[in-house]
Structure 1
Amino acid sequence: MKPRLVMFDMAGTTVFDRGGIARVMSDFFKEYGFEIPPGAFIPWMGSPPEFVVNRSLRRVGDDRAENPAFVAETVVKLDATLNAYFADEAIPVPGAMSVFSVLKQNGIFVVLDTCLNRHVADHILEKLKWKGGIIDWTVAGNEVNKPKPNPQMVFEAMKRFAVDNPAHVAKVGDTPNDLLMGNISGCGWVVGVTEGTHSREALMPYPHTHLVANINHLPALLLED
């Protein structure tokens, strides 16, 4: 059996990221006078920017973490910083277009999900020229009430493409939140990618059906008889 729908995470899974976003976030908070090493952000990859800002402020003991207005203002600035980063660094994972094409040729819907906000996601999609039928749909973090690892993104995609059983969905991502979302929603395939932001060892403890180095392994995995 093959899936009817495959949901891919963006940064780290289909969009190249070997720690670049974490370094950008570290540099961003230096402007506030906070020294947070890039490695501190890795466990937060796959989380919404509001969460990242809140946890960063808590880490340095800044009580503005509990100030929603300040957090929201900081998220706007962080989004602008990420937009500037992706203007130069939005690079597809090698083979991504081919993987999308093979899946679509086999009648499988291709969806991208991200905890980044919509305008950042659109900036990446435009840079990569992934609009206009390359993929079927995208869902961003600020378009759902509960982002990863809550299953709402999966259920929204299922509703959009009339997939009535999550067992017919494959969730693919490079973070623990991706694997948790796939597991909680009951996806038939929960595939961790180990060449993104998290290693095989880091993803191993989280629920999954498969771990692969990168998405180029997916057609053989998902289309096998």
Structure 2
Amino acid sequence: MTISLAVLDMAGTTVADDGLVERAFTEAVAAVEVSEQDGRFPAMLDHVRRTMGQSKIVVFRALLPETEAQQANTAFEAAYSRLVETGRCEPVPGAEQAIKDLRAAGVRVALTTGFARPTQDAILAALGWHDLVDIALTPADAGRGRPFPDMVLTAVLRLGIDDVRDVAVVGDTPSDVVSGLRAGASIAAGVLTGAGTRTEFEAVKATHVLESVRDLPALLS
């Protein structure tokens, strides 16, 4: 099997999450007057946990009316960016070297996220990763976020990959795996460094379950 492109998720896969999404979510819903003591909060937090990896505005739209969803999404992005700017952003151990090894082996690398562009850019800047990968995409760049295949296919088109079967998609949520399978990737792998469990990955028919993205270069060699 020849892999020409690796499409890698960010938070939980290449970037350590360490609860940042949940902290930012708590601040976001507080902006629309839903506190942690609100009776709605536990179910809302559970939904956020179950939809990790998906477009954040889509997640908020499932929880709130449109105006409040937009307000909460803006507050979420601002809160997450503040956490990143205060040094609460680190790579998953071995992730940066794995990306370098993939590119040295001739594999193009795309980073994808459920965050908006300003938050993705803040993360890339904090880690010094703007020049580490070939392309970085958000749901807005592709049309739809995960579990749809749009970001994977956008990376394929923009990087001139000839065959979707030459693609490996790796992420820490079932949504990442489903997006890879829907795109026709030969490898749609889950990693155990974030939100997803081995059982969840097996349930959505992941081609592989890896301990970490650092194991990807060896899988492709």
Do 2:165 and 2:185's aligned partners in 1 also have CA atoms closer than 8 Å?
yes
The alpha-carbon deviation at position 27 of structure 1 amounts to 4.1
Determine whether 1:45 maps to 2:45. Answer: no
TM-score, with length taken from structure 2: 0.90
Separation (CA, whole Å) in 1 of partners of 2:34 and 2:190: 35
Separation (CA, whole Å) in 2 of partners of 1:184 and 1:54: 23
SS of residue matched to 2:90: coil
Do 2:15 and 2:90's aligned partners in 1 also have CA atoms closer than 8 Å?
yes
Q: Superposed, which structure 2 residues align to 1:179-190 within 5 Å?
A: 179-190=177-188
- CA displacement 1:124-178 (0-9 Å, x = unmatched): 000000012x111100122222211111111111111211211000000011110
The aligned counterpart of 1:15 is 15
Do 1:171 and 1:190's aligned partners in 2 also have CA atoms closer than 8 Å?
yes
SS of residue matched to 1:11: coil
Separation (CA, whole Å) in 1 of partners of 2:202 and 2:57: 27
The aligned counterpart of 1:62 is none
Do 1:19 and 1:197's aligned partners in 2 also have CA atoms closer than 8 Å?
no
- The number of residues matched between the two structures is 213
Do 2:27 and 2:79's aligned partners in 1 also have CA atoms closer than 8 Å?
no
Determine whether 1:6 maps to 2:6. Answer: yes
Separation (CA, whole Å) in 2 of partners of 1:85 and 1:149: 26
The aligned counterpart of 2:34 is 33
TM-score, with length taken from structure 1: 0.89
The alpha-carbon deviation at position 203 of structure 1 amounts to 2.2
The aligned counterpart of 2:153 is 155
- CA displacement 1:69-91 (0-9 Å, x = unmatched): 33223321221111112222111
SS of residue matched to 2:58: helix
Distance 1:202 1:27, change over 3 A: farther
Identity %: 30
Gaps spanning 5+ residues in structure 1: where? 58-64
The aligned counterpart of 2:110 is 111
Separation (CA, whole Å) in 1 of partners of 2:21 and 2:175: 17
Runs of 4+ in structure 1 over 4 Å off: none
Q: Superposed, which structure 2 residues align to 1:137-152 within 5 Å?
A: 137-152=135-150
SS of residue matched to 2:148: coil
The aligned counterpart of 1:129 is 128
